[in-house]
Structure 1
C-alpha cells in the first residue's frame, strides 16, 4: 500500500509538471489531499505498532511519514492520540473533545459569546465547511506543540523536518505555478486533506455517550460504548469502506485491540458483536449517511444548548441577523 501511495505522489508530481499553467492543476491538488490522508492512515497504523513487529521500526516509519511526507509532528500526534485511546469521550481527559472552534460539550457551548457563540449555535450545519480549514489547523497545532510544549522527544529533529517539508512544498508550488493558481492549489489540497481527515475521524466517536470526569468505567465498556462502527450492507462495501477509512470504520475493535492490523478487524468484529450481545452491551453500527447525520444532529444539539436561557425562541427566529 505504501508503495502505491509513493508511486501516486510521483505520478501526481509528473502530471503537475506536464500540465503547466492549467486550472486542471486543482484536480492534482485534490488528488494529493486524498493521497496524503491515506499516508496519514498508515502513519496512524505505525503509531499503533501495526506495520512492523519492532516498536522502533514502527516509530521510525511513522516519524518519516508524518514529519517529512504529511508535514505534521509525529510526536504531537502520538501524545494526543495516546490520551484519546486511554480515555475516549471522557470530559477533561480526551483531547479530541476539547473545544477547538467546535464545542463538543454543553458547558463549552454555553461559554461562547459573540461570533464564537453565533458559530457554535450553527456548528452542526457548518461542520463540513469548517473541515475545509482542518488541514491548516492540524499543521498549526503540530508546529505550536513542537515550539511551546515543555518536553518533546526529538523536538529539534521534528521541527526542522516539518518546517523543511512545508517550506519546500510551498516553494515548489509557487516556482511551478503563477501566484493565483499556486494559492488555489494549496487551498484545494489543504481543504480536501482537512475534509477527508476530519470526515474519517469524527464519525467514530462524535455523538456517542460522554463520560464525566469522576465516573469509573471498565475498559471494555468504555471503549465499546463510546465508539461507533461504520459499515455497509455487503462484504464488498465493507472492504471499500475499510480502504477509504484506513480501518477506522471498525472503531470498536480498533479501540479494543489498538495493535490489530486493519485486515483482521472484520473477523474480530463478528466475535466482539456476539460478545456484546451475550453481555447485553450496546454495540453501535451505522451506515455512512447515518453516522454523519448523527454527528451533525449531535453538534447542533450541543450548539443550541449554549443559547442564552432567557432568549425567546420566537424572537431569536425572527430577529434580523
Structure 2
C-alpha cells in the first residue's frame, strides 16, 4: 500500500529544528556543504585507496603482506562509501550537481551501483525507516536474522547473536555479485514502483560491474605472481572486512535497544509526522568521538543525517546540539549510545532478546 505519515499531534518539531539549523548557517556564514576539512578527508581516503590498490598490483610483496594490503583496501573502500560517496549521492557534498555526480561515482570503487543505491537508500530507506515491508534495509538476512518482534520465529534464530556478525561480513560480496542486479530488476522495492529505469542505467549497471570484475579479479590474475586460490582469498578477505564495517555501522544506527519498527495502521498509514518517526527509529553512537566521526562519515550521528541528509556530515557536530535541544523541547526521544562498543553491545543484546523466542 502507499504509505503516508499523518501528523496527528500537529507537531512543530521539524519546522523548529529546520529554522534553528538554517539560523545556525546564516549566523556563522557557513555553507551547509563541504569545507576544507571535508575535502582533505575525502582526499585522504581516495589517495589511500589508490595507493593500496597500486601497491597490490606492484607485485613487490609476499602473500601475507598482500593479504594485509587487501584487508586495508577493503576498509578504505568502506570509508570512501561513508565519507565521499554517501554525502555526494545525497547531494550534500557540493552545491554543484556535477561535483556530486562525480564524487558519487566513487561508489563504483566498491563494485556498487549509485543509481540503485539512490532508490533503495535515499528514497525508500530515508522515507520509510524501519517499517517492515517497506524499508528493505532492515531485511538483513530474511529468515536468518530476526530484528523485529512481528517477524516469524525460526528455531535457529536462538543463535543469531553469534552468527549475525558473520552474515554482516557477506554484505559487500552480496552487493557486488547479486544485490544490485536483484534490486534493479525487482518490480517493487518495498512498496515503491521500480519498473521505469532509463535505458542508460541498464548499460551502466552491466558495464560498471564488468569493469569492477576486470580490475579486481582479471587484472590481478594477469599481473600478480599468485595462484588463483591466493587471489581468491585476498578478494574475499577484502570484501569480508568491507562488509563487516558497512553492516555494523548501519545496524548500530537502526537496530539497537530503543529503536522502533512501527507497523502501519491499515488504511491509515503511520500516525505521526515523518520527522518524529525518524526520532523513534534512529540512534546515534559515539557522538563525541572524533575518531568515529572521521571514519564513519558522520553516520555515527545518524539522527542528524536522517533529518538533514542534504547537509554535509562535517557539520553534524554543530547540528547535534541543535537537534538534541529541539527534541528535548518537544519531549521527543533522542536515542544515543555513548560509544561504538556500547552500541555494539546494545545490538548484541537486542539480537539475543529477539532470538530467545526461538
TM range (shorter): 0.7 to 0.9
1:275 corresponds, among 326, 329, 345, to 326
Q: Does 1:137 align with 2:174?
A: yes
In structure 1, the residue corresponding to 2:336 is in which secondary structure?
A: strand
Q: Does 1:228 align with 2:268?
A: no
2:25 corresponding residue in structure 1: none
- For the 8 Å contact 2:252–2:283, the answer to whether it is kept is yes
Q: Does 1:259 align with 2:310?
A: yes
Change (3 A) 1:60 1:39: same
1:249 corresponding residue in structure 2: 300
Deviation at 1:38, TM superposition (A): 1.4
Change (3 A) 1:292 1:31: same
Aligned-partner Cα distance in 2 for 1:14–1:219: 45
Structure 1: gaps (5+ residues): 308-321
Q: Does 1:44 align with 2:81?
A: no
Q: Does 1:152 align with 2:152?
A: no
Q: Does 1:15 align with 2:55?
A: yes
Structure 2: gaps (5+ residues): 1-40, 188-194
Q: Does 1:302 align with 2:344?
A: no
1:292 corresponds, among 335, 341, 344, to 344
Aligned-partner Cα distance in 2 for 1:281–1:270: 14
Q: After the TM superposition, which parts of structure 1 deviate over 4 Å for at least 4 consecutive aligned residues? A: none
- For the 8 Å contact 1:210–1:226, the answer to whether it is kept is yes
2:149 corresponding residue in structure 1: 106
In structure 1, the residue corresponding to 2:73 is in which secondary structure?
A: helix
Deviation at 1:125, TM superposition (A): 1.9
2:230 corresponds, among 181, 184, 207, to 181
Cα offsets for 1:271-316 (capped at 9, x unmatched): 11111122221111102111111111112222233x3xxxxxxxxx
How many residues are matched? Answer: 294
Return the TM-score normalized by structure 2.
0.77
In structure 1, the residue corresponding to 2:94 is in which secondary structure?
A: coil
Deviation at 1:148, TM superposition (A): 5.3
Deviation at 1:220, TM superposition (A): 2.3
Aligned-partner Cα distance in 1 for 2:261–2:234: 39
In structure 2, the residue corresponding to 1:282 is in which secondary structure?
A: coil
Deviation at 1:56, TM superposition (A): 4.7
2:96 corresponding residue in structure 1: 54
The answer to which of 2-11 and 36-45 deviates more is 2-11
Cα offsets for 1:165-197 (capped at 9, x unmatched): 123311123221222321210121011100111
Aligned-partner Cα distance in 2 for 1:206–1:173: 38
Aligned-partner Cα distance in 1 for 2:208–2:255: 33
The answer to which of 77-86 and 2-11 deviates more is 2-11
The answer to which of 21-30 and 51-60 deviates more is 51-60
- For the 8 Å contact 1:231–1:249, the answer to whether it is kept is yes
- For the 8 Å contact 1:99–1:108, the answer to whether it is kept is no
Cα offsets for 1:130-171 (capped at 9, x unmatched): 222121122220133345553334121222112221233111
Return the TM-score normalized by structure 1.
0.85
